[in-house]
Chains A and B, each alone.
Chain A
Amino acid sequence: MKKDLLGIDDLTRDEIYLVLDTAEAMREIGQRPIKKVPTLRGKTIVNLFYEPSTRTRTSFEIAEKRLSADTLNIAVATSSVLKGETLADTAMNIEAMAPDMIVLRHASSGAGHLLSRICRSRIINAGDGMHEHPTQALLDAFTIREHKKRIDGLKVTIVGDLMHSRVLRSNVLLLTKLGADVWVSGPPTLVPTGIERLGVRVSPAIDEAVTGADVIMMLRIQQERMHGAFIPSLREYFNIFGMTKARVARAKPEVIIMHPGPMNRGVEIASDVADGPYSVILEQVANGVAVRMAVLYLLAGGADAD
């Protein structure tokens, strides 16, 4: 593995499978009465979060603790950022205390790349702006593989705000690397220019896009997109792109429905779909811990760290 995990391009196909296979073993740890192994004992991991996050931060923290790492959470509201310190200075100060890894969540695309150039610690990107969220894509792949036993050749349809989504970019890179047939659908105002060059089929016609899908992945629509005139109203968005039972019926009978959260019920997804039999949304959350344990373990040196 490379020093850092900034995006899916940092991983080869074999390394992606290694993460997924390792996550299988890690999941077993979470099912034990004492959910803790000494693997990362003595390692210090800083969770540096410049954006509010419940799911991802909690997931990383649980993963770190199950591996016995010493963890430290720095949230923006309590940090010196408010006193005008730059990201580079904050990073150098943290670096001076010699952590082993920094898990970074930041609103600017490429923030992890900046840290990577400054820090000797390993950097794990936990979401940078509109760029990537690689551990989300890994846990999504883990969840898909668990249900479908493969990823190669599956039709995966991703629907929603494609432009502003880091989950989209990481998933597209990972799923195309593993041979899935990836379709994306959303309002033309929210489709990034040139996205087809990443090897996806772009179809604004959602009914076509979901037809025969093995996996439907919904992306969150943020309220503020209405102010940017990307969409006229949340109501209209739901009518045209919302995932309803009728749309799900166009997919394969054993389709799974995914969502990275946080979910807006009645905006991008109907409640009866989110809570319905095809939904694997909570499994994604559960798998997130195992996949992040695998990433932390492998970046720390894998078997060498034991």
Chain B
Amino acid sequence: MSKWILRGGRVVDPANGRDGTFDVLIDGGRIACVGRDLPIDGDIKVVDVPSGLVVCPGLIDMHVHLREPGHEHKETVATGCAAAVAGGFTAVACMPNTNPVNDNAGVTGYILTRAAEANLARVYPIGAVSRGQQGEQLADIGELKAAGCVAITDDGHPVATAMLMRRALEYSTLFNMPVIEHCEEQTLKADGVAHEGFHASALGLRGIPGEAESIMALRDIALAELTRGVLHIAHMSARQTLDAVRYGKSRGARVTCEVTPHHFILTDEMLGAPVAYDTNVKMNPPLREAADRDAMLAGIADGSVDAVATDHAPHHADEKHVEFDRAPFGITGLETAVSLCLDRLVHAGVVPLSRLVELLSVNPARILNVPGGSLAEGAPADLTILAPEMRVTISAAAMRSRSRNTPFDGWKLRGGVAATIVGGCAVYVNEQVSLQL
């Protein structure tokens, strides 16, 4: 099936100003042509897109933890990629906090080999800012770039010192790589396990104020301005951080940011109900209060937020089946994000579908400088076919990820994934839709 056509679907391709019924001709794994009523000669396979489905450039999750090497009991590159394509993602960018840390070409190469073996989603490794993520000495960033890394981060922790962050922002401009920051002032976070607010107080959980995030964001935005470096703020959760990002953008700093679905949907009220002390609502940054959640939605609506990423953080059930303060931070996200976004952003009227495609595809590709985000002629044929009206019930037990730590189990949502196509090949087709891929 080297040459085939997706006929008659609604194509949403904001990078090329398209939103309407188009045919998409794919040849040799690339987009050959997008147009109306494309001619069909003999050897072209025709796939009719049922009405109601939407063809868009492949979704890119720019913040996932694939856990390999070192934590294969939580996830592997293969299981993570299977989860990704089932969730509609044609590409993922994976964080370097593995064991060993992805701070050298050997680990990067290992991850890419595993990804090639899985042959599902594209995998873009993100390297460490500092050697061993120890916050002391820069990793060999040029070597990481050459090996295939697309960005650097010490995710899991912030870049330890202002000086190291300054150096990272300066040095990475050599390679046109953004520095992705997990913003957290660690002395202020201390041993906190939940958002500092009424619910944590009532439940006797140690708090993490929103300012633990925004203080670090302000530091880094100031340094981005100083250095003209490229900064991306990961998993933003606090309204104060959004204000910081807006401030930075207004001053011309090269700063972008992402928000996770759980931070624009859930609040710290979940700590106490429906299940008190549910470790599947423990993540870092924590679920914050309604004012923060509403601020994230406002930032998504007004364009201040550049991307939606999942911070997919699989943990083994045994690790989560402990006391709340002893459980690891994090939830899975790859297989819930699209349904959550369609239901809570598009159907709820926060953004139109084209803007969602920007958040999940166009902008992540632009921020990471990777192919994708566009159905331009010659672009790789990475496509996601969305089913915005599909009724979906989230089932943790049915997930492809090796881990099941999601707070969304049992949620009924409107919107799902019909199919995922990478390099012209269907890597996932939802059995509920009639697509002859």
When the two chains form their complex, are residues A132 and B204 in contact, meaning their CB atoms are under 8 A apart? yes
Is A61 interfacial (CB 8 A cutoff)? no
Is B264 interfacial (CB 8 A cutoff)? no
When the two chains form their complex, are residues A194 and B323 in contact, meaning their CB atoms are under 8 A apart? no
Query: Given A192-B201, A193-B201, A194-B197, are A87 and B323 neighbors across the interface (CB < 8 Å)?
Result: yes
When the two chains form their complex, are residues B207 and A193 in contact, meaning their CB atoms are under 8 A apart? yes
Of the residues A111, A169, A192, A195, contact of B323 by C-beta under 8 Å: A111
When the two chains form their complex, are residues A195 and B204 in contact, meaning their CB atoms are under 8 A apart? no
Q: Is the interface of A mostly helix, strand, loop or mixed?
A: mixed
When the two chains form their complex, are residues B323 and A193 in contact, meaning their CB atoms are under 8 A apart? no
Which residues, 82 to 115 on A, are CB-close (under 8 Å) to B?
Answer: 86-88, 106, 108-111, 113-114
Is A32 interfacial (CB 8 A cutoff)? no
Residues of chain A with a CB closer than 8 A to B200's CB: 193
Compute how far the CA of A106 lies from the CA of B204 in the bound complex, rounded to whole angstroms: 13
Which residues, 198 to 236 on B, are CB-close (under 8 Å) to A?
Answer: 198-207
Residues of chain A with a CB closer than 8 A to B206's CB: 130
When the two chains form their complex, are residues A88 and B321 in contact, meaning their CB atoms are under 8 A apart? yes
When the two chains form their complex, are residues B276 and A110 in contact, meaning their CB atoms are under 8 A apart? yes
When the two chains form their complex, are residues A193 and B196 in contact, meaning their CB atoms are under 8 A apart? yes
Residues of chain A with a CB closer than 8 A to B196's CB: 193
Is B291 interfacial (CB 8 A cutoff)? no
Which residues, 130 to 145 on A, are CB-close (under 8 Å) to B?
Answer: 130-132
Residues of chain A with a CB closer than 8 A to B197's CB: 193-194
Is A57 interfacial (CB 8 A cutoff)? no
Residues of chain A with a CB closer than 8 A to B203's CB: 109-110, 131
When the two chains form their complex, are residues A106 and B323 in contact, meaning their CB atoms are under 8 A apart? yes
Kindly provide the distance from the CB of B186 to the nearest chain A CB, expressed in whole angstroms.
Answer: 15
Compute how far the CA of A130 lies from the CA of B198 in the bound complex, rounded to whole angstroms: 14
> How many residues of chain A get a CB closer than 8 Å to chain B's CBs?
23
Compute how far the CA of A113 lies from the CA of B323 in the bound complex, rounded to whole angstroms: 9
Closest-by-CB residue of B relative to A86 is B322
When the two chains form their complex, are residues A108 and B325 in contact, meaning their CB atoms are under 8 A apart? yes
Compute how far the CA of A213 lies from the CA of B94 in the bound complex, rounded to whole angstroms: 59
Kindly provide the distance from the CB of B219 to the nearest chain A CB, expressed in whole angstroms.
Answer: 22
Closest-by-CB residue of B relative to A191 is B201
Is A149 interfacial (CB 8 A cutoff)? no
Query: Given A110-B277, A113-B276, A197-B198, are A166 and B322 neighbors across the interface (CB < 8 Å)?
Result: no
- Per-residue CB proximity of A160-177 to B under 8 Å, as 1/0? 000000100100000000
Compute how far the CA of A132 lies from the CA of B205 in the bound complex, rounded to whole angstroms: 11
When the two chains form their complex, are residues B201 and A129 in contact, meaning their CB atoms are under 8 A apart? no
Residues of chain A with a CB closer than 8 A to B124's CB: none
Of the residues A88, A110, A114, A193, contact of B198 by C-beta under 8 Å: A193
When the two chains form their complex, are residues A169 and B204 in contact, meaning their CB atoms are under 8 A apart? yes
Residues of chain A with a CB closer than 8 A to B276's CB: 110, 113
Compute how far the CA of A153 lies from the CA of B207 in the bound complex, rounded to whole angstroms: 33
Kindly provide the distance from the CB of B200 to the nearest chain A CB, expressed in whole angstroms.
Answer: 7
Is B326 interfacial (CB 8 A cutoff)? yes
Residues of chain B with a CB closer than 8 A to A192's CB: 201, 207
Counting chain A CB atoms within 10 Å of each CB, the highest count among B196, B200, B323 belongs to B323
Kindly provide the distance from the CB of B345 to the nearest chain A CB, expressed in whole angstroms.
Answer: 29
Is A181 interfacial (CB 8 A cutoff)? no
Is A72 interfacial (CB 8 A cutoff)? no
Residues of chain A with a CB closer than 8 A to B318's CB: 86
Of the residues B199, B277, B322, contact of A113 by C-beta under 8 Å: B277
Closest-by-CB residue of A relative to B194 is A109
Kindly provide the distance from the CB of A97 to the nearest chain B CB, expressed in whole angstroms.
Answer: 21
Closest-by-CB residue of A relative to B324 is A110
Compute how far the CA of A129 lies from the CA of B206 in the bound complex, rounded to whole angstroms: 10
When the two chains form their complex, are residues B201 and A195 in contact, meaning their CB atoms are under 8 A apart? yes
Is A64 interfacial (CB 8 A cutoff)? no
Compute how far the CA of A231 lies from the CA of B276 in the bound complex, rounded to whole angstroms: 31
Residues of chain A with a CB closer than 8 A to B277's CB: 109-110, 113-114
Is A128 interfacial (CB 8 A cutoff)? yes
Kindly provide the distance from the CB of B209 to the nearest chain A CB, expressed in whole angstroms.
Answer: 8
When the two chains form their complex, are residues B201 and A194 in contact, meaning their CB atoms are under 8 A apart? yes
Of the residues A88, A109, A130, contact of B322 by C-beta under 8 Å: A88
Residues of chain B with a CB closer than 8 A to A88's CB: 321-322
Is A198 interfacial (CB 8 A cutoff)? yes
Compute how far the CA of A113 lies from the CA of B205 in the bound complex, rounded to whole angstroms: 14
When the two chains form their complex, are residues B202 and A109 in contact, meaning their CB atoms are under 8 A apart? no
- Per-residue CB proximity of B321-357 to A under 8 Å, as 1/0? 1111110000000000000000000000000000000
Counting chain A CB atoms within 10 Å of each CB, the highest count among B198, B201, B206 belongs to B201
If A109-B204, A110-B277 are given as contacts, then 6 extra A-B residue pairs at C-beta distance below 8 Å, sorted by A number, are A87-B322, A108-B326, A110-B324, A114-B277, A131-B203, A192-B201
Q: List 8 A-B contacts (CB under 8 A).
A: A108-B326, A109-B325, A129-B204, A129-B325, A131-B203, A131-B204, A131-B205, A194-B202
- 7 smallest CB-CB distances across A and B, nearest first, come from A110-B277, A194-B198, A131-B204, A130-B204, A108-B323, A192-B201, A109-B204
Which residues of B does A touch, CB under 8 Å?
A: 196-207, 276-277, 318, 321-326
